[in-house]
Amino acid sequence: MSLSGASRAEESVPTVPSVSMTAPKTGILAGIRLKLHHLHTGESIDVAYKEGGQYSDQGVNMLNRFLRDHRTQDTADYDPREFDLLHALLVKLGKPNATIDIVCGYRTPLSNNFLRTRSADTGVAEHSQHMLSKAIDIRIPGVSTLKLRNAALALGMGGVGYYPTSQFVHVDVGPVRQWQFGGRPANQMASRGRRHGHKRSV
């Protein structure tokens, strides 16, 4: 089982000035949009990556640059289905215009190995989907990590990693699978709440 996405599990997210990356006011503004904010670069982007059912080269290229490895500044060509997954997730949550916080996008093999070897148990996979440009670790302001994880699982579009301690969810367009790293398993928390008559807010 691939355990990718724990890159930020033990690192604090720095506070940096926000930089806006907005697509020019051309035809690509009329398509399917994504609004993202990167927690490590401080950049924000609001771009249409698809129009008329076709991927926009300009929009996809902007997203590839935005999701670069923030340690090395290397970029890669993302599998555009990952952008479809993000959009479908927002729709599933009833928040199609929400901004997604990016915890980790593309990772070079160098960055991935650095994160894996920082301690004995990092939760970072040797063959991470992040290195294949098929995975992103995310948060959505106002949506609990558990609710985000459940929505991603319901889509069945790829791998879903649940990181309750670090409060992010890994979503990728690799094989359909799921895992958890850290914290009490969600099914145990739900069972405990039912036994004690507690209603859990997710």
The domain locations on the chain are 6-195
Helix (H, G, I), strand (E, B) or coil at 145: helix
| CB count in 10 Å sphere of residue 202 | 14
What pLDDT is stored for residue 37 in this prediction?
98
**Average pLDDT value for residue range 35-53:** 97
**In the block, which residue shows the tokens 């355990």?**
3
The alpha-carbon radius of gyration of the chain (Å, integer) is: 17
User: What's the pLDDT band for 114 if we cut at 50, 70, 90?
Assistant: confident
pTM of the entire predicted model: 0.77
- What is the per-residue pLDDT for 3? 39
- For residue 5, is pLDDT > 80? no
pLDDT in tens, 156-195: 999 999 999 999 999 999 999 999 998 776 555 444 444 4
**Distance in angstroms (rounded) separating the CA atoms of residues 153 and 172:** 11
Angle between helix 81-92 and 145-155 (nearest 10): 120
Cβ contacts of residue 94 below 8 Å, gap of 6+?
none
Cα distance between residue 168 and residue 182, in whole Å: 11
CA 143 to chain CA centroid, nearest Å: 13
